[in-house]
């Protein structure tokens, strides 16, 4: 079993991590930690599924350019926390493919040049490793965990653009700390594929009809085990375990993790 898809009409790839199975027959408490794509089309008045969530905190993992192009629409009374996961990668002159999906899918020739012959997969794997090793990535995921430990944060939603990469790693860290096993972590990570492909269906169709390689489109739009494994490998290489990554890399105390578990585990 994976997170529950929430049937929103204005937010793509909205999922409640509640109900995800954990060790010892426990599960994640429903209604407190949610993940999604960007909130630029959010309309609480027209979307009863989102209105019912009672969101109090939104964490936006996107870059400044992504936020400027598609600003979040946040429910009244909710706090918006901006935590740019990829800031350090961008400042070093590298532009992650995850932030250029629409541009790359509009130009098959450019996509083939920069992303063909396995380059797309390699770029995504490097980006996932950056989630673990960069200061901006560490700061963003530290805020996610700290907020989830705070009862005052209320129902919390975290997101990026498509809700699959930066958001997928955040969900993996949270669920790992709560006690999900490796199979559950991977199943939850991969379970967003249908929703993401649906959200980008027109772009994919236009790209392939213009002569674009379908494999490149899938590498950009979908998520694959090798992407998540790259981040997990980086954790193992640098820290040896998820707990040490959280304690030493993110600077999140064991007490905060225990408070998060107490709040989110049933």
Element (H, E) at 101: helix 101-105
Q: Per-residue pLDDT for 4 more than 80? A: no
Verdict on whether the full-model pTM lies above 0.85: yes
Q: Per-residue pLDDT for 105 more than 80? A: no
The domain ranges of the chain are 4-258
CATH C-level class of 4-258? alpha beta
Contact 21, 184 (CB under 8 A): yes
Tell me the average pLDDT of the chain. Answer: 92
What's the pLDDT tens digit per position in 147-199? 999 999 999 999 999 999 999 999 999 999 999 999 999 999 999 999 888 88
What's the pLDDT tens digit per position in 56-74? 999 999 999 999 999 999 9
Task: Give the model's pLDDT for residue 252.
Answer: 98
- Mapped onto helix, strand or coil, the DSSP state of residue 134 is coil
Contact 15, 35 (CB under 8 A): yes
């Amino acid at each position: 079993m994976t997170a529950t898809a929430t049937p929103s009409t204005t937010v793509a790839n909205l999922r409640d991590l509640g109900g995800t199975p954990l060790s010892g027959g426990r599960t994640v408490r429903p209604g407190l930690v949610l993940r999604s794509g960007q909130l630029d089309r959010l309309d609480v008045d027209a979307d009863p599924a989102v209105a019912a969530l009672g969101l109090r905190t939104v964490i936006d993992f996107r870059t400044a350019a992504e936020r400027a192009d598609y600003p979040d629409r946040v429910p009244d009374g909710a706090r918006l926390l901006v935590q740019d996961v990829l800031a350090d990668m961008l400042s070093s002159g590298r532009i992650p493919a995850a932030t250029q999906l629409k541009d790359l899918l509009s130009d098959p020739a450019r996509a083939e040049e920069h992303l063909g012959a396995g380059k797309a997969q390699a770029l995504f794997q490097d980006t996932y490793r950056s989630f673990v090793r960069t200061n901006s990535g560490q700061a963003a995921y530290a805020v996610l965990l700290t907020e989830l430990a705070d009862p005052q944060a209320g129902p919390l939603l975290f997101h990026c653009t498509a809700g699959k990469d930066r958001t997928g790693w955040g969900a993996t860290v949270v669920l790992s700390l709560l006690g999900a096993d490796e199979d559950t972590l991977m199943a939850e990570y991969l379970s967003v594929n249908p929703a993401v492909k649906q959200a980008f269906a027109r772009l994919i169709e236009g790209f392939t009809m213009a002569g674009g390689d379908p494999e490149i489109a899938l590498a950009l739009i979908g998520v694959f085990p090798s992407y998540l494994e790259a981040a997990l490998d980086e954790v193992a290489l640098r820290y040896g375990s998820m707990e040490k990554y959280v304690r030493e890399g993110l600077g999140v105390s064991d007490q905060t993790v225990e408070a998060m578990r107490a709040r989110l585990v049933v």
